[in-house]
Amino acid sequence: MKRIRLFLFLLLIAVGCKFFKGDPYRNTPTTGRSTICVDETFRPIIEAEIAVFKGIYGYTEVKADYVPENEAFRQLLNGDVQLIVASRPLTDIEKGVFNKKKIFPRQNKIATDAIALIVSPSSIDTLISINQIRDILTGKLERWEQINPASTAGKIKIVFDNEKSGIVKYMVDSICGGKLATSNVFALEYNRDVIEYTSTHPGVLGFIGASWISNPNDSLHLSFHQKIKVVSVSDNSRPDIDNSYKPYQAYMVDHIYPLTRDIYIINAEPRNGLVTGFSSFIASDKGQRIILKSGVLPAIAPTRVINVRKDF
């Protein structure tokens, strides 16, 4: 009997050792290693998503490359990555590229974002209309006193995060009708750079993603907020404090804040692996709560169950 027990014990050890020789990082929806591309504008959101996802699923390594949106699409189409986060879905031509390879990407809206306009702390120019933004970007307005006669900021200087970013594309296509002046428009590299530059240069009008300054639980982004002023934007031709809004979640719901856009996650993974699991996580209730805390609007409002107890 003892020999039988010893034999069974050794057999269990052998089977266990064989089982644990497997790669714990093999590619499944909750294990594995993968690289994704993310428009740098959405960095605060995706960094938070990756941190929580890794905390839940220990055998995952999701590495995000934060790049201009054009570069994210280029890498997706070339097959360098299988998942991107961007401000637009695939075009029909881009879908055709994948369909020829018998790949049918899944696209999901995960949030509504806003483009925030910022100025230096010393600026008195904190109200602006969509028409004025259009005229600035197309070169019709060049000085702050043309917007606010009391302004002493001088010439308007526009600063974007990157010339190939989704913010630039949105402003050109959706606001400027495809036209953009170049004499007063400059691009840096990252949203962080725009914040730092604008904070020390009066006369600059900076364009950044709202999540960089909207997360009340992030001390880093609160410090950014203290360095700049956020401009209120109006659809009215005569902006005032009653018809102008800042990029807060409450004003994104029905696009009351004019400069809103959607965020999409595009998954071109042929089979259900890690990027599919990560994509599903972002779309889940937990993932949407992370987006809610980031300061932008989740695509699906997270629900909260409240038990009401009546004492008789």
Average pLDDT over residues 112-122: 95
Q: What is the reported pLDDT for 5?
A: 55
Please tell me the distance from the alpha carbon of residue 213 to that of residue 296, in angstroms, as a whole number: 10
CA dihedral 6, 8, 14, 17 (to 10 degrees): -100
Does residue 188 or residue 15 have the better pLDDT?
188
Provide the CA 295 distance to its chain's centre, in angstroms: 11
Q: Do 118 and 134 fall within a single domain?
A: yes
Structural contact between residues 253 and 301, judged by C-beta atoms closer than 8 angstroms: no
Same domain membership, residue 246 and residue 282: no
Position 127: which residue type? L
Question: How many percent of the chain have pLDDT more than 90?
Answer: 74
> Model confidence over 212-222: pLDDT tens digits?
988 666 555 55
- For residues 59 and 175, membership in a common domain is answered with no
* Of the candidate ranges 13-27, 68-82, 181-195, 276-290, the one whose mean pLDDT is the lowest: 13-27
Query: Which is nearest to 164 in space by CA: 75, 253, 55?
Result: 75
- For residue 135, the enclosing domain spans 113-260
From 14-23, 71-80, 142-151, 293-302, the region with the lowest mean pLDDT:
14-23
Whole-number pLDDT of residue 1: 57
247 with 149, same domain: the answer is: yes
Q: What value does the mean pLDDT take over residues 105-132?
A: 95
Instruction: Tell me the percentage of the chain whose pLDDT exceeds 70.
Output: 86
The answer to whether residue 167 is domain-embedded is yes
pTM as predicted? 0.84
Split into its structural domains, the chain has a count of 2
**143 and 172 co-located in one domain:** yes
| CATH code of the domain covering residue 286 | 3.40.190.10
Q: What's the number of CA atoms in the CB half-sphere (13 Å) around residue 40?
A: 22
> Which residues have CB under 8 Å from 165's CB, separation 6+?
39, 40, 41, 68, 69, 70, 187
Contacts (Cβ under 8 Å, ≥6 apart) of 288 = 110, 282, 298, 299, 300, 301, 302
Pair (77, 177) in one structural domain = no
Residues 267 and 138 in one domain: no
- Tens digits of residue pLDDT in 12-65: 444 444 444 557 778 899 999 999 999 999 999 999 999 999 999 999 999 999
Question: Do 217 and 290 belong together in one domain?
Answer: no
Per residue in 151-186, pLDDT (tens digit) is 988 999 999 999 999 999 999 999 998 888 878 899
Give DSSP secondary structure letters for 246-265. Answer: -S-HHHHTTT-SSSEEEEEE
